[in-house]
Amino acid sequence: MSDGDDIRLQSAIPALRRYARVLTRDPHQADDLVQDCLERALTRLHQVRGRPDLRPWLFTLAHHLHVSQWRRLKRLVPMAETTVPEQVQEADQTLHLEWQTVAQAFDRLSDDHRQVLMLVGVEGLEYGMVAEILGVPIGTVMSRLSRARSALHRLVESEDRPRLRRVK
């Protein structure tokens, strides 16, 4: 592996970890998925020598590994409880509650909706690249993204969540 490959791979790891966290909903499983993905990537790095951005390729590997693991474990292990992501920085109470509302709403989305929002909205990948990663037509990506945004908006704005009241 050349120094350039090493740098490209290292710079893609934070994005890969974010995506693995969305796929698995568990930080420990996400770490395992990232490790498996990087192990596979290192043995196949020669396949992507000309690509300046390894994220789409790594996301595809992670997606396929996750689907394989999920299928294998689906019949053996019941779905585990998910954990709340660790807070990155101190937030005032209102911002923290707003973030918590969005995070809870995001977690309630379907797997398909969470994946497409993460890849397009957070990672900034183009629809065509997301379609390749997920193995679906580009129209499906666009449709899922539209439905995911609408669903997230509805969940965040739902009347079911407690409202903050101002204290005078």
DSSP secondary structure, 29-55, as one string: HHHHHHHHHHHHHHHHGGGGTT-S--H
- The C-alpha atoms of residue 39 and residue 49 are separated, in whole angstroms, by 17
Cα end-to-end distance, the chain, whole Å: 63
CATH 1.10.1740 location in the chain: 1-79
Specify the domain boundaries for CATH 1.10.10.10 within the chain: 92-159
State the Cα angle at 133 between 76 and 129, rounded to 5°. 165
Is the pLDDT confidence value at 73 over 50?
Answer: yes
The confidence band for 94, taking pLDDT boundaries of 50, 70 and 90, is low
Match domain 92-159 to its CATH number in 3.90.1150.10, 1.10.10.10, 3.30.70.60, 3.30.950.10. 1.10.10.10
- C-alpha 158/C-alpha 35 separation (Å) is 38
The reported pLDDT for the residue numbered 20 is 92
| pTM metric for this prediction | 0.60
The mean per-residue pLDDT over the stretch 41-53 comes to: 87
CATH class given for the domain over 1-79: mainly alpha
pLDDT over threshold 50, residue 62: yes
For residue 133, give the 3-state DSSP assignment: helix
Longest Cα–Cα distance in the chain: 64
* Residue among 61, 72, 74 at smallest CA distance from 33: 61
Whether residue 132 contacts residue 114, with contact meaning beta carbons closer than 8 Å, is answered with: no
Q: Are 155 and 108 in contact (CB under 8 A)?
A: yes
